[in-house]
């Protein structure tokens, strides 16, 4: 099975431009950014609740603690929230009408309830198709997150912890190597 495509900056901008169109622009933007800026899996994004993201005073948390039932491997994990994503989540929280802390962050337009992993994957597929990006899936943001950090020199053990992997081997499979990375590496000599 082919791996999800890692996106270049220009491709991410194209996806965000497509996400900005339509009635659910804010929702679509934040679901994309949760995968690109926090490396979250689509199932984790679907399972995310407002209580996971916001402090009691309404500010965005520095980290999201996912319970075992919210993760793929049924192991709880902590997702670190970078400053860019904190700003995006705060802006999103200001435009979304939330009924309760137990409501989903990413809601369905039909029910105003949460997506399943599968239906949210279909939303990602639709966004990438409209953006004209072949090979991208709901896992592309996560793969891009890990590859980008690796390219910036973050060690594989830290990447493993950020991704919530239990094996370095799994994390290494996520890291794309491109010609520019190879050029920069040999120029370190």
pLDDT at 111: 65
The answer to whether 128 and 122 have CB atoms below 8 angstroms apart is: no
**pLDDT-derived band at 102, boundaries 50, 70, 90:** confident
The answer to whether 48 and 105 have CB atoms below 8 angstroms apart is: yes
**pLDDT-derived band at 120, boundaries 50, 70, 90:** very high
pLDDT tens per residue across span 133-189: 999 999 999 999 999 999 888 999 999 999 988 888 888 888 877 777 788 889 888
**pLDDT-derived band at 26, boundaries 50, 70, 90:** very high
Q: Model pTM? A: 0.90
Reply yes or no on domain 9-138 having CATH 1.10.443.10.
Answer: yes
Least-confidence region, from 17-26, 102-111, 113-122: 102-111
The Cα 140–Cα 136 span in angstroms is 6
pLDDT at 34: 98
**pLDDT-derived band at 99, boundaries 50, 70, 90:** low
DSSP alpha helix (H) spans, 39-165: 42-47, 50-53, 83-95, 117-130, 140-151, 156-163
């Amino acid at each position: 099975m082919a791996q999800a495509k890692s996106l270049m900056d220009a491709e991410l901008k194209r996806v965000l431009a497509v996400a900005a169109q339509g009635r659910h622009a804010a929702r679509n933007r934040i679901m994309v950014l949760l995968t690109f800026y926090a490396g979250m899996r689509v199932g984790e994004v679907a399972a995310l609740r407002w209580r996971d993201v916001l402090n009691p005073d309404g500010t965005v948390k520095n980290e999201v603690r996912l319970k075992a039932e919210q993760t793929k491997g049924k192991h709880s994990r902590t997702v670190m929230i970078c400053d860019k994503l904190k700003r995006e989540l705060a802006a999103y929280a200001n435009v979304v009408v939330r009924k309760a802390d137990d409501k989903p962050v990413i809601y369905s337009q039909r029910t105003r309830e949460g997506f399943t992993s599968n239906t949210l994957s279909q939303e990602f597929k639709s966004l990438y198709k409209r953006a004209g990006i072949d090979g991208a899936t709901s896992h592309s943001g996560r793969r891009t997150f890990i590859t980008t950090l690796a390219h910036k020199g973050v060690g594989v053990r830290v990447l493993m912890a950020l991704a919530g992997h239990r094996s370095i081997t799994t994390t290494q499979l996520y890291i794309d190597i491109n010609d520019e990375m190879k050029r920069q590496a040999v120029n370190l000599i």
